[in-house]
Amino acid sequence: MSKYSDILKQWKAPEGKPTDQAWAELEMKLKNNQPSTKVIAFSWKPMLSVAAAAAIIVGLIVLWPNESLNTVICKAGNHQVVTLPDASIAHLNAGSELSYSEDWSDERTVELKGQAFFEVIKGNKFQVVTPSGVVEVLGTSFDVLSRDTDFRVSCRTGRVRVSAGNQSVEIAPGFTAVLENNRLMVGEFNLSEADWRKGEFVFDEADVTDVFNELSRQFDVQLQLPVLEGRKYTGRFSNKNLEEALQLVCLPMGLKYTQTDNRVVLIEESLSENK
């Protein structure tokens, strides 16, 4: 108030100005002499940024896997034997991938893309997870094929439970479960038939394109095929000799083959077939 008193003492109404105008000018002068108040602008943006960063960190802590997976990739032209953490054995076929954790204290689970033969020691539940279905066992030996739309499980010893979608079946030695048109079908196979682990591949009314795909994986060659839709093949081949394998598959199907230097094989209809 002392400041206001000093201003009032020094103030005189200007000559020739109405009283109202003089008081208005005085009021403005008083306002201009008030102590200034410092206004601090507040923004939520920095706090939101910090909160977002904290949320991301918490999310990473929650979502980040507790442990890394071991992934074994068996390339074309190779077979590979993998010893799992519990000493069970997985035989990987060419062009297959197997992933698993080193810590099996709670569960024994592997993820498979391709084909593998498992020899599982007894213990708690053992699971093979594939894109098409899940296989569960306690201690047994069995073969799992999961490629594209093909899903087949063959039991050699013990018992195996196969699940796909909301379906589940149990199979015994000599039986196989196949996913056909989204249905699990159970059939038999000969336990003494050739074993792919020994390089022998047997086919019974199989799509010939699937047979050529297997041949390509076993010998790590690129095949150029004609249209073979709907054609079936029954027979076998070994992965020990490419020339012999091509003959065993091509000749019964009325096909001919030509090998090139860059590991490409051209498959064509034979002349006799075109006549």
**DSSP output for 111-138:** EEEEEEEEEPPSSS-EEEE-SS-EEEES
> Is residue 30's pLDDT more than 50?
no
Can you give the pLDDT at residue 122? 92
Residue 7 structure tokens: 């201003």
Mean pLDDT, residues 230-249 taken together: 95
d(CA 115, CA 238): 17
> Is residue 7's pLDDT more than 70?
no
pTM higher than 0.85: no
Residue 70 structure tokens: 């071991």
d(CA 141, CA 174): 11
d(CA 146, CA 229): 21
Can you give the pLDDT at residue 240? 95
Q: Which residues lie closer than 8 Å to 229 by C-beta, 6 or more apart?
A: 209
> What residues does 83 pair with on adjacent strands?
89
Domain limit, last residue, from 167, 188, 209:
188
User: Are residue 109 and residue 204 in the same domain, yes or no?
Assistant: no
10 in any annotated domain = no
- Position with higher pLDDT, 62 vs 182: 182
Phi, psi (rounded to 5 degrees) for 46: -60, -40
User: Are residue 100 and residue 127 in the same domain, yes or no?
Assistant: yes
Can you give the pLDDT at residue 261? 78
Band of the pLDDT at 16, cuts 50, 70, 90? low
264 in any annotated domain = yes
Residue 78 structure tokens: 């190779």
User: Are residue 238 and residue 207 in the same domain, yes or no?
Assistant: yes
CA atoms lying within 13 Å on the CB side of residue 83: 1
d(CA 83, CA 118): 10
Band of the pLDDT at 272, cuts 50, 70, 90? low
11 in any annotated domain = no
Q: How far apart are the first and last CA of the chain?
A: 119
Can you give the pLDDT at residue 193? 78
> What residues does 235 pair with on adjacent strands?
203
Lowest mean pLDDT among 45-49, 118-122, 244-248: 45-49
Q: How distant, in Å, are the alpha carbons of 97, 114, 118, 202, 218 from that of 74?
A: 6, 9, 15, 21, 11
d(CA 78, CA 34): 89
User: Are residue 211 and residue 129 in the same domain, yes or no?
Assistant: no
Domain count within the chain = 2
Tell me the percentage of the chain whose pLDDT exceeds 90. Answer: 63
pLDDT in tens, 249-266: 999 999 999 998 778 999
> Is residue 8's pLDDT more than 70?
no
Band of the pLDDT at 27, cuts 50, 70, 90? low
Q: What is the DSSP letter of 2?
A: H
pLDDT in tens, 85-127: 999 999 999 999 999 999 998 889 999 999 999 999 999 999 9
Domain limit, last residue, from 169, 188, 207:
188
User: Are residue 201 and residue 95 in the same domain, yes or no?
Assistant: no
User: Are residue 170 and residue 211 in the same domain, yes or no?
Assistant: no
Tokens 């095949």 belong to residue: 223
Q: Are strands 126-129 and 134-137 parallel, antiparallel or unpaired?
A: antiparallel
Which DSSP helix (H) or strand (E) runs through 205? strand 200-207
Full domain range(s) for residue 133? 70-188
pLDDT in tens, 138-185: 889 999 999 988 999 999 999 999 999 999 999 999 999 999 999 999
User: Are residue 177 and residue 207 in the same domain, yes or no?
Assistant: no
Mean pLDDT, residues 131-136 taken together: 96
User: Are residue 130 and residue 174 in the same domain, yes or no?
Assistant: yes
Can you give the pLDDT at residue 46? 41
Bin 189: left if φ > 0, else alpha if -120 < ψ < 50, else beta: beta
Can you give the pLDDT at residue 75? 96
- Position with higher pLDDT, 245 vs 105: 245
Can you give the pLDDT at residue 22? 52
29 in any annotated domain = no
Domain limit, last residue, from 188, 218, 251:
188
Can you give the pLDDT at residue 229? 86
> Is residue 55's pLDDT more than 70?
no
Q: What's the CATH number where 112 sits?
A: 2.60.120.1440
User: Are residue 86 and residue 179 in the same domain, yes or no?
Assistant: yes
